[in-house]
Structure 1
Amino acid sequence: MSRDATAEGPAPTGARAAWKARAARLGAAWRRWRVLSLVLAAFVALSAVREISGQDALTASGTVQTMLAFAVPIGLAGLGGLWAERAGIINIGLEGMMVFGTWFGAYAAWTTGDPWAGLAAGILGGTAGGLVHAVATVTFGVDHIVSGVAINILSVGAMRYLSVLYFMEAPGGGAGQSPQLPDFDRVGLPFVADLLQPVRESGRFLAADAAGIVTGLTTGMSVVTLIALLLLPATYAILWRTRFGLRLRSCGENPDAAESLGVNVYGYKYAALAVSGGLAGMGGVFLAMVASSVYQEGQTGGRGYIGLAAMIFGNWRPGGLAMGAGLFGFTDALQIRGQGPAVHALLLLLAGVLLVVVLGAVATAVWRRRLRPLRTAAVALALGAGLGAWYRFTETVPSEVVIASPYIATLLVLALASQRLRPPAGIGRQWRRRSG
């Protein structure tokens, strides 16, 4: 072999190693800032769609406030599921725990006239449901799904009985409804809306949209909404930055290893389910006393299950969970405030998202020299072209699509996110302490 060939041989290897190191650094940076990056990308995309379609409801302050009203109970249920499943317990019973929260919160607020008493009672009611689930699954080894479904069925019947017993004869009450309930205080910075009003009315790209979102987040917010928003970073700090959180998550990953290191696995699972039920109960209180002013039978409307879907979309992480809850709340808010034209504008947004998927799949195929991503690109391109044509040649969407848009969005997001999910390794396991 010649000297030149020998000298030039290591160069490609070195260049490839440098590229791999750079890609690894970029991947680490993306994982660290991906939630913020996705939120900013979604904001820019919404602003662009609003500019093209003229649908100001997409980023209006009223839409943001309505989105929070829909997203908060879903987010609280999802946080409850996050605590339980990080400890290895599947909590299908979140829906029933929310039902406990709605009824007990309403009863305490009605009898005392104090909304904070209602909040405390609703959290305690949900916690009681979580402890029932813990007794069944942790102590007696009942299948997690069976126990959760039983709690959901029990909650509906038990709360119906209590409503007939206590609300039936009350003025304004009934067999499935409580009397009028006291309201929580509203907090905010009203001067911000006055300062940003000229910017909102200007209609400028990005600036007007940012002003609308900031106004919605700083005006007329319920104090319970503020507490719920603060629970997201608090959950992250507790579960990922404390010794308690590390031990709790170890119970969901490998309880045998955790036990061998002296961790009280049963105790941590009980604690996780108590917190899980309390968060779901708080979501129930929000539905009864913030989103509404009375308790009504069937008020949860499946939000416990949707919260689980948002948690799965978020890959069992608080930031991703917040994005999932916000997505569902946003599409539900557009259904209420924007009606068909605003939902019609989302077709353009979905087409743009699919175009990004196409570009990403093609880049992956070129980089990894594989054909499978090209099949994904072809499917995404066909769907994107269909959605683009639907938007171009129509002016609205059928009312049935408007009503179903939150559920369609949830299914689409879960389908797109399914390839990168990694649940806790020990989730759903009927674990027993080793003897001796």
Structure 2
Amino acid sequence: MKPVTNRREFFRKAAVLTGAFSVNSLYQQVFAADLAAKSQLYKDVSPERMAENEDFWAFIQQGYPASSSPVLNLNNGGVSPSPQLVLDAVERYNQMSNQAPSYYMWRILDQGREPLREKLALLAGCDPEELAINRNATEALNTIIYGLDLEKGDEVIGCKQDYPNMMQAWSQREQREGIVYKQISFDFPVEDDESIVDAYRKAISPRTKIIHVTHVINWVGQIMPVKKICQMAHDRGLEVIVDGAHSFGLLDFTIPDLEADYFGTSLHKYLSAPIGTGMLWIKKDKISKVWPLLCNGDPRSADIRKFETLGTRSFPLEQGIGEALNFHNGIGAKRKEERVRYLKNYWAEKALTIPGVKIHTSLKAAYSCAIAGVSVRGLTPQELGQQLLSKYKIHTTSISYGNINCVRVSPHVYTRTADLDRFVLALSRLAPDNGNQNIESKGA
């Protein structure tokens, strides 16, 4: 065993020299040079063409332990696995913290939040002073939902296909304070922006104050025309909250370009950050009017950090976000978006040829990226999901919610086309043997 003094010296140096954005980050040590060399080979290839380049993506797959899992994970829309270097970073920071928790956490790792805020802001395309780092989209969006002053009778418009935790938060305010929570409904897939915008427009009344919209519908992957909804709402003096849980780290966009007022996301989905990490964005001139969800000494402050008074949290997880950012930026945001969309279309287009199989998501680029819903005639979503897992070791998500009944499938950059061939083969074996059945699908 090495002397304790040597171990302490290691952790002291680790804190100083191996931050995620230093020249000695894990990303720089184990991945950066090889990825840069691989990227150089294809520097003149468009992201759309790179989406089909299996040589490049085989290299990326090697960075994810999940690529060799005996269970094929096609529920990356729930929680995505992290690259190995992110896992290693979190483990390193955990070991460091355990030497003297209050010292290494509060005096060392806590100092990494400002560089992390700046790097997240670069990806988000916004001012660092508009970003707070927290634990997930629910926390971020509940901070906004409960933090805005509303009076009895004020109206909020959402839709029945929003995420349950957000709908429940608005319903709780309705029950407790007498605001009015109105919900419109869609029959997805919808391939017409104006019909979506018009549905929100028609729900507006003189008492409406806020529109809550989901950027990517978690159930079936529909991409909503958020910018157009925000422009319409602002023309009428309304504010817009955007749930970006399934868009940030996947779609190539900047938050300000959406023209929203508030935005919340999870970082443990397509950014592949450690599980239990998230981010809140509030337009700078609106920060002071939002009450923190958890107590703060100056709740009306215009400092975004008032939303980070979470008490003791996992500093190792928070700092692991930095390595996930390095990995994401190394790939390239547009390349990543196009690859994941290609993977979704790869399996969905094959599935459309199977009698009795229905796709519940548009395959047009403007309306979907990673997520697609699928059903097999004669099987409930629960039966389909259970058989995929028990017979073929394929993990998906079964959805029976309102007018949506399907299995949700969501690949990631570590997913191989061979994995998706395996999935399509499983669908073909589970589908009814009826070659004359017409396949019903929108957006094929």
* Higher relative contact order structure (alpha carbons within 8 Å, sequence separation ≥ 6): 1
- Is the TM-score greater than 0.5? no
- Structure having the higher strand fraction is 2
**Rg bigger for which structure?**
1
TM-score normalized with structure 2 length? 0.25
TM-score normalized with structure 1 length? 0.25
